[in-house]
Amino acid sequence: MKGGGKNQKPAALRKLHGSRTRPHHRRVVDALPVDALEPPPGLTDDELVFWRYYEPLLAAIKVLTAADRDTLAHHCVGLAQVQAIRTAQRTARYRRVIDHSRTNPLDAQLRHWLQLTRLSAAELGLSPVSRARVTPAGPTQELDDLEKFIATPIHRVK
């Protein structure tokens, strides 16, 4: 008999529904929030300033886990680099255009570090859009009154 077997679900639906028969195919990562993280060795003084600012904020809202230490460190390195480049751009020797065809390399470096810090901020939940997607790790919190109302099923009146 020609053709395939049963009609298969499209890949997007299969991914959305998951697999009921093979739950062992889903890896569950149990990342619990931490109260505090030690900064990794090797951060400079400027980078540690950013670490000491962001680490308590992220720990307080329960989105920081031990696995996020390197991401936060990369974010702090990027912020320190942006700060150093901005300081260099404020000197009297800085010129945005070197000659008619070339721009200053500091401008390209600044764009690079700004993009990296933006991406790491999104991973950590530091932007409004990413904060909506990042859920606190650990046990679920109680629903407030509005969430309870939204979660209640609608009963039809006869």
Taking only the tens place, the pLDDT of each residue in 11-36 is 777 666 666 665 555 555 556 777 78
In terms of C-beta density within 10 A (0-12 exposed, 13-18 middle, 19 or more buried), how is residue 138 classed? Answer: middle
62 CB-near residues (< 8 Å, 6+ apart):
33, 136, 137, 138
Encoding tokens for residue 33? 């929030």
pTM over the 0.95 mark: no
Taking only the tens place, the pLDDT of each residue in 78-107 is 999 999 999 998 888 887 777 777 888 898
Taking only the tens place, the pLDDT of each residue in 23-78 is 555 555 556 777 788 999 999 999 999 999 999 988 888 888 888 899 999 999 99
Within a domain: residue 49? yes
Within a domain: residue 17? no
Q: At what angle do helices 45-60 and 69-89 cross, to 10 degrees?
A: 130
Domains contained in the chain, number = 1
CA distance 75 to 109: 15
CA 142 to chain centre: 24
- Note whether 33 and 134 are within 8 A (CB): no
Q: Can you give the C-alpha Rg of the chain in angstroms?
A: 24
Query: What was the pLDDT predicted at 81?
Result: 96
What's the whole-number average pLDDT of the chain? 79
- Note whether 66 and 37 are within 8 A (CB): yes
Within a domain: residue 152? no
Within a domain: residue 149? no
Residue 116: give the domain boundaries: 30-137
Query: What was the pLDDT predicted at 44?
Result: 95
